[in-house]
Amino acid sequence: MSDPQLTARSLETLLGQWRGTGSQYQELADRVRLLVLDGRIPIGTRLPAERDLAGRLGLSRTTVAAAYRQLREGRFVDSIRGSGSVARLPGPALALPTGGGDGMLDFTKAALPAATALPAAARAAAEELPHFLPDSGYDPVGLPHLRAAIAARYTERGLPTDPDQVLVTVGAQQAIALIARTFLGRGDRALVEMPTYPHATEALRLAGARLVPITVTPPEEGPHALGTEDDGWDADAIEQTIRRANPALAYLIPDFHNPTGASMSPATRERVLAAAAAQGTIVVADETTGDLDIDRRGEHLPMPVYAERAAGGAPVLLIGSASKSLWGGLRIGWIRADRPLVQRLIAAKPSTDLGTPMIEQLVVARMLPQIPEIVEERRTQLREGRDTVRRLIASTFPDWTMPTQHGGLAAWVGIGAPVSSALALAARNHGLLIAAGPRFGLDGAFERSLRIPITYSVEETERAFAALKRAWAVAANEPAPYYDAAALPNVV
């Protein structure tokens, strides 16, 4: 299989505003290096030929050759005669340390510790397990009583649901990938928000989709109510995009959007669903963060309820998960949809998965009835985390901006300068792993933004801001130094 090829035009888009006041070959090399380290130029990708890139950027070939030479000397590029220049990372691909290893604090994960109810539920599930041992253990659909519990929760929220409308998956990520593989063909368009959860866009791309972005810009200040359209989504633009692009599928995070924390108003939901119905677009609503309400306290109805109000009634698939509200170690997710859609998903699931872990299903089934108490516990934790981040931004980085945050797991912070990647890289030298803004966008966007989790303790968050303060002195004023680093870690 040949290496993936990056065209000169694509690289120009990724580079963005890379020119500064220094030598152009050095600035070009620095920018390409950041793109490799940030994962936006995948390892093994062939870079454009020197002549092609020079023509595209309006540079001399000598300048581009000097930049490539700089990258080779830093071991970020291998140049092989007849094969071109291939992106790589210096040294072996080592696993990066997590928050507890080698003193590193891992803020790439916006996730809470386990709910206090989990140990008792796990013990009870272990005692319950022998009842299921006479069976094969292969469970591609989900335990009946777990699906019944999930269906009951939807019914309580105003969406009547039967257990056969629920398919249990190995986490929400498998649900996204399964939906993409089932309902998208190669070359189909998929509507996605920008910024958004990066592993969702990866799953859509792997299914062969061409991504069509719409922008989410959360309100900077003031109350955010579900009854207003000042919610961060431009409904007019979304309607026009759906009509123009005619996407086969739209992936949305309507409640406590990752990473911005915004929530879509009822009016916007109805307009988006009506536009989707008119074009035959399947709407996928990722509700994994929907329970993480800090102080909004407004009822958020499931998207299919709004679809019934919208003309045409667009097909809506809901994605839920135990990982965000209960614990990340519980790899249990689910899909709620109309029966014909669920049947298609069940038929497609065995190609990659023959069963969902039994013991984890038993744990989640025991915890779902305790969701009201668990949500109250999470509300307290997230409020403290949000208020701590807001306080530290005000005292440490008064020029940074933090949008209104009424729920979710992270703050989408404006840092005022296009240096998010450089800041994330410099922070590693000070013991902090954090995801740069472009990790949540396409083609290098969001260099002026940084996702900061609100899920850590006061002490950990203060440590993180101390590291960011030291890293900012490097990132904001000087080219980031070369790093002998492994691949950028995944984000959660």
**402-451 residue pLDDT tens:** 998 899 999 999 998 888 888 998 898 899 999 989 889 876 678 889 99
Q: Confirm if 152 and 166 have CB atoms less than 8 A apart.
A: no
Q: What is the average per-residue pLDDT within 218-234? A: 60
Residue 1 has pLDDT above 50, yes or no: no
> Which of 42-46, 102-106, 366-370, 440-444 shows the highest mean pLDDT?
366-370
Domain spans of the chain, in order of start:
8-87, 117-371, 372-476
CATH class of 372-476: alpha beta
Distances from the Cα of 470 to the Cα of 122, 435, 484, angstroms: 42, 17, 19
The CATH code that applies to domain 8-87 is: 1.10.10.10
pLDDT of 3 reads: 54
pLDDT of 85 reads: 86
pLDDT of 414 reads: 94
Q: Which residue has the higher pLDDT, 487 or 22?
A: 22
Q: Which residue has the higher pLDDT, 211 or 314?
A: 211
pLDDT digits 0-9 by tens, 179-202: 999 999 999 999 999 999 999 999
pLDDT of 222 reads: 42
Average pLDDT, the chain: 87
And the tokens for 354? 């023959």
Q: What is the average per-residue pLDDT within 350-368? A: 92
Specify the length of the chain in residues: 492
Q: What is the average per-residue pLDDT within 330-351? A: 95
Distances from the Cα of 372 to the Cα of 15, 288, 293, angstroms: 47, 16, 11
pLDDT of 220 reads: 61
Q: What is the average per-residue pLDDT within 111-125? A: 97
Q: Which residue has the higher pLDDT, 46 or 116?
A: 116
Residue 480 has pLDDT above 60, yes or no: no
Give the model's confidence band at 490: pLDDT under 50 very low, under 70 low, under 90 confident, else very high: low
pLDDT of 198 reads: 92
pLDDT of 228 reads: 44
pTM: 0.81
Strand partners, 425: none
Residue 454: alpha-carbon gap to chain centroid:
15
Number of helices (H) and strands (E), helices first, in the chain? Answer: 16, 13
Residue 109 has pLDDT above 60, yes or no: yes
Residue 313 Rama label (left phi>0; alpha psi -120 to 50; beta): left
Distances from the Cα of 231 to the Cα of 181, 255, 382, angstroms: 31, 11, 21
Least-confidence region, from 53-67, 249-263, 278-292, 439-453: 439-453
Q: Which CATH number fits domain 117-371: 2.120.10.70, 3.40.640.10, 2.60.40.420, 3.40.190.10?
A: 3.40.640.10
pLDDT of 378 reads: 96
Q: Confirm if 152 and 174 have CB atoms less than 8 A apart.
A: no
Give the model's confidence band at 103: pLDDT under 50 very low, under 70 low, under 90 confident, else very high: confident
Contacts 24+ apart (CB under 8 A), 90-95: 90/484, 90/485, 91/484, 91/486, 92/486, 93/43, 93/486, 93/487, 94/486, 95/486
Rounded Cα distance between 404 and 222, Å, is 7
Q: What DSSP string runs through 291-306?
A: T-BSS-------HHHH
Give the model's confidence band at 489: pLDDT under 50 very low, under 70 low, under 90 confident, else very high: low
Least-confidence region, from 206-215, 229-238, 374-383: 229-238
The SS3 assignment for 474 reads helix
pLDDT of 310 reads: 64
Of 172, 483, 170, 491, nearest to 355 by C-alpha is 170
Q: Confirm if 126 and 360 have CB atoms less than 8 A apart.
A: no
Q: Which residue has the higher pLDDT, 474 or 383?
A: 383
Residues above pLDDT 70, as percent of the chain? 88
Q: What is the average per-residue pLDDT within 462-487? A: 72
Q: What is the average per-residue pLDDT within 333-345? A: 97
Q: What is the average per-residue pLDDT within 437-466? A: 91
